């Protein structure tokens, strides 16, 4: 077998192995890792949660399947407050995106960002209070 074919087969086997190894490697990731950047993001999100909680409860805001939040029912918010809600949602999503990136990077594996995001998306739904809205396979559902 010539050298080019051997290198091609080796690369293919490495790729296939990575498909199976990556999910189990993520299981070893420290999702509770703490750095100054992660602590600042969590603090910002925690401070904002007090403002968002009523909007989760009213159904105005819900959890998306990609680990973010979105306006679920704008009519649940008085017109005068909608811009504020949109700003809260945007700020929360900025922090969530940064959090997933920071956690993956702090684990030394920035390539795990999407897996970290997916894990957190599931956790947010699990921790959501009864009556909150979330996306399930692209459709909104009430917990």
- pLDDT tens readout for residues 108-134: 999 999 999 999 999 999 999 999 999
Looking only at the bridges linking them, the beta strands covering 61-63 and 133-136 are parallel
pLDDT at position 2 is 54
- Residue 5: pLDDT above 60? no
CA distance 31 to 99: 10
Q: Which residues constitute the domain of residue 14? A: 1-30
| Shared domain check, 25 and 38 | no
| Shared domain check, 23 and 37 | no
Q: In residues, how long is the chain?
A: 143
Give the mean pLDDT of 81-109. 98
Give the mean pLDDT of 85-97. 98
Structure-block tokens of residue 98: 């940064």
Question: In the block, which residue shows the tokens 């192995």?
Answer: 17
| Shared domain check, 50 and 6 | no
| Shared domain check, 57 and 26 | no
DSSP state of 136: E
| Shared domain check, 83 and 113 | yes
């Amino acid at each position: 077998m010539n050298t080019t074919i051997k290198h091609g087969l080796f690369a293919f086997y490495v790729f296939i192995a990575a498909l199976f190894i990556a999910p189990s490697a993520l299981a070893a990731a420290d999702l509770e890792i703490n750095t100054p950047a992660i602590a600042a993001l969590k603090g910002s999100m925690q401070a904002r949660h007090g403002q968002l909680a009523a909007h989760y409860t009213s159904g105005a805001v819900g959890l998306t399947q990609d680990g973010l939040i979105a306006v679920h029912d704008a009519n649940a918010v008085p017109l005068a407050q909608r811009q504020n809600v949109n700003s809260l949602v945007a700020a929360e999503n900025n922090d969530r995106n940064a959090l997933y990136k920071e956690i993956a990077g702090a684990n030394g594996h920035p390539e795990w960002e999407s897996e970290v995001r997916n894990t957190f998306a599931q956790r947010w739904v699990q921790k959501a209070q009864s009556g909150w809205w979330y996306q399930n396979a692209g459709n909104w559902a009430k917990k």
